Amino acid sequence: MRRHIRFTSLLTCVLFSLTLISCTAKPAESSDITNVFEAATETSGSSSESTISETTSPSETTAVTTETTSETTSETTTEATTTATSETTATTSETTNEPSVSSSAQITGDASAIYRKVPEEKKNYIVYNEAFGGTITANAMNKGFIGITIDSDGNNLYGNIPPEALQFTVFYDERQNFTLRDAQGRFLSATSQGELILTDKPVEDNYQFWRMEEAEGGWHIINVGAAGNQALQYSSGTFSIKKCAKTSDFVFNFYEVG
C-alpha cells in the first residue's frame, strides 16, 4: 500500500515536471519562430530593396544613355547641317563671283577690238550690242541699217572685223554730247521722221549728236535732237531709232579698234 502511494506520488511529480518543461519550451519555440519570421522578413525586404534598386538602375542608365544619345545626335545633326550650309554657301559664293562667259569666249584667234567703258575722243570704235552680238553696217533697210555679228567674250571682239562693219571716230562737244563719224567722215544721225541715216554734213536741230545714259550691261545711246527720248536700237538684225526702253536691244558698248 505504501509502495503504491509512493509510485503514485512519483508519477505525479514526473507529470508535473513534464508539464513545467512543456510550458517552459513553448515560449522559446514562439520566440524562435518570431525571430525566424523577422529574419525572413528582413531578408525579403533587403531582397526587395535590392531588386528595386537593380530594377531602377537600368532605367536611370537607359535615361542617361537616351539623353546622351539625343544630345550627341542633336550635335551631330547640327554640325552636319552647318557643314552642308557652309558648303552650299561656299559653292554659291564661288558661283556668284565667277564671271559669266558666253560661248564666244571659247573662240580662238586674235582680238580685233578691246572693250572700253567710256569712249575717248578721236579714237575709233565699234558700236556693239552685247545681247545679240551685232554691230552696224552701211547697208540701209527699213529706215535704218542692217547689222552684222562679231564674236565677243565681253572683253574683246575676235577675228577680222568685216569690211562692211562701220568704225566710228568719237568727237565730244562742250556739253559732252558726241558725234559718231565713219571712215568717210559721215555722221550717224537721226531725222525728224524717225530715220537713222549717214550724212556727210551736220544736220539741223542736233540730230547728229548723241548722249549716253548708263544702263545695265552698257549704255543707252540717245539722240539729242529727236523728241521723245529716241535711242539707238538693234532688233531683228536691223539698227534703227526707237523710244528708249529698259531692254537688252537698247544696250550698247564701245570696242576700241587698232
Question: pLDDT by residue (tens digit) across 93-108?
Answer: 333 333 333 333 455 5
Mean pLDDT, residues 185-193 taken together: 96
Query: Which has the closest alpha carbon to 128: 258, 254, 256, 220?
Result: 254
Q: Does the structure show a pLDDT above 80 at 34?
A: no
39: which residues sit within 8 A by CB, 6+ positions away?
none
What's the pLDDT at 59?
43
Q: How far is CA 250 from CA 70, 108, 127, 218, 254, in A?
A: 61, 28, 12, 9, 13
Q: Which of 81-90, 160-169, 197-206 has the lowest mean pLDDT?
A: 81-90
Mean pLDDT, residues 223-234 taken together: 96
Give me the amino acid identity at 201.
K
Mean pLDDT, residues 65-83 taken together: 42
What's the pLDDT at 14?
54
For residue 156, what is its C-alpha cell?
574683246
Q: Does the structure show a pLDDT above 60 at 82?
A: no
Q: Which of 102-111, 120-129, 236-245 has the lowest mean pLDDT?
A: 102-111
258 — pLDDT class (breaks 50, 70, 90): confident
36 — pLDDT class (breaks 50, 70, 90): very low
What's the pLDDT at 76?
43
Q: Which residue has the higher pLDDT, 75 or 247?
A: 247
CA distance 118 to 256: 10
Cβ-contact 211, 177 below 8 angstroms: yes
Q: Which of 41-45, 130-134, 225-229 has the lowest mean pLDDT?
A: 41-45
Q: Does the structure show a pLDDT above 50 at 52?
A: no
Q: Does the structure show a pLDDT above 90 at 92?
A: no
Beta strands in 43-186 (DSSP E): 111-116, 124-129, 134-141, 144-149, 156-158, 168-172, 178-181
